[in-house]
Amino acid sequence: MAEAAQSGPTKASAGPSRSLRNRRLMTHAGIFLTLIIAWELASRAGWLDPLFYPRPSNILNSFWLIYFKNGNVWEHLGVTMSLVFMGFVGGSILGIVLGSLVGLNGLVRRFLKPYVIVLEATPRIAVAPLLIAALGFGATSKIAIIMLVCFFAPFINTLSGVMNVNAEKLELFRSLGASKWQILRKLVLPDAVPIIMAGERLALTAALSGALVAEFIQRDQGIGSLILVYTRNLNMASSFACIFTLTILGFLIFRGMELVDQYIAFWKYEAGRERVSAKRRRAMRS
């Protein structure tokens, strides 16, 4: 009964909220379509330089060519996404582990933090050719470039999350005799996870840019090398099709990370809290 009373208002509010979302979606779709039609008309009227702005209808045709007729984009897309995934995982693990170490241990912080900050200030695109020279060609150096690009957001966010623990709560934990492990598990991590997840969202989108930088330098495979081929041949419609592919992927990745965030740092979100409460209630009943 109590559960029904709690879920009642939520269900009742779901209708208007869905309708609001649909209205917003329609508005965005309308704006998008208007822009595309304006672009197409301006291109046909000769107001836009075709060297820089190919017609949307040509871009659409290129989507058909590269995805279905020739199907040549799939292999490149697979390579890029594999690199993005491996670089992101590697960079994130490194960032979170080092961020935690630096945040939790004063000695490590004193020695490591200045170097990490200096590395952060170094332009990573300039370092990329050096990394390739040092690590050699192939996936290893590309992954290293992506790791370098997406290492800092998790590192900095983990560091701030770990170091900005609520002082009063910490005092309370200590006065109650909590062990270091308990403090980490019950206080530091829950406080830090939402900030770490924000860093992860930034890292994953940055990983896509890192992969492109790596593929612009090592041009064997990947969507970056395909874009280079198309732009060199002045095939701007196909080049735009690849760029829009990356835009869509970047958007999906970002939204995907938001969902992962809602699942991991569930206590930040009302829906997450309700989901976990319901699960716990069910577990208690059974």
* Binding of other proteins by 219 (CB under 8 A): yes
Closest to other proteins by CB, 11 or 232: 232
Nearest-approach distance from CB 97 to other proteins, in angstroms: 5
Q: Are 94 and 152 in contact (CB under 8 A)?
A: no
* Binding of other proteins by 72 (CB under 8 A): yes
- Window 233 to 262, contacts with other proteins (CB under 8 A): 233-236, 238
Neighbour tally for 134: CB within 10 Å: 10
Closest to other proteins by CB, 221 or 262: 221
- Window 43 to 62, contacts with other proteins (CB under 8 A): 49, 51-52, 62
* Binding of other proteins by 93 (CB under 8 A): yes
Q: How far apart are CA 65 and CA 280, in angstroms?
A: 51
* Binding of other proteins by 141 (CB under 8 A): yes
* Binding of other proteins by 226 (CB under 8 A): yes
Choice from 94, 112, 178, 260 touching other proteins (CB under 8 A): 94
* Binding of other proteins by 230 (CB under 8 A): yes
Q: How far apart are CA 170 and CA 183, in angstroms?
A: 8
Q: How far apart are CA 276 and CA 264, in angstroms?
A: 11
φ, ψ (nearest 5 deg) of residue 101: -60, -45
Q: How far apart are CA 223 and CA 91, in angstroms?
A: 21
* Binding of other proteins by 282 (CB under 8 A): no
* Binding of other proteins by 135 (CB under 8 A): yes
> Exposed (0-12), middle (13-18) or buried (19+): which is 54, by Cβ within 10 Å?
buried
Nearest-approach distance from CB 103 to other proteins, in angstroms: 13
Closest to other proteins by CB, 33 or 234: 234
Question: Residue 226: what residue type?
Answer: L
Q: Are 58 and 73 in contact (CB under 8 A)?
A: no
Q: Are 143 and 196 in contact (CB under 8 A)?
A: no
* Binding of other proteins by 229 (CB under 8 A): yes
Q: How far apart are CA 87 and CA 222, in angstroms?
A: 14
φ, ψ (nearest 5 deg) of residue 258: -65, -40
Choice from 48, 228, 249, 264 touching other proteins (CB under 8 A): 228
Q: How far apart are CA 159 and CA 163, in angstroms?
A: 6
* Binding of other proteins by 101 (CB under 8 A): yes
Nearest-approach distance from CB 281 to other proteins, in angstroms: 32
* Binding of other proteins by 225 (CB under 8 A): yes
DSSP state of 267: G
**Count of residues binding other proteins (CB under 8 A)?**
43
* Rg for the chain, CA atoms, rounded: 24
Choice from 32, 137, 251, 263 touching other proteins (CB under 8 A): 137
Nearest-approach distance from CB 88 to other proteins, in angstroms: 13
Binding site for other proteins (CB under 8 A): 49, 51-52, 62, 65-66, 70, 72, 90, 93-94, 97, 101, 129, 132-133, 135-141, 143-144, 216-221, 225-226, 228-236, 238
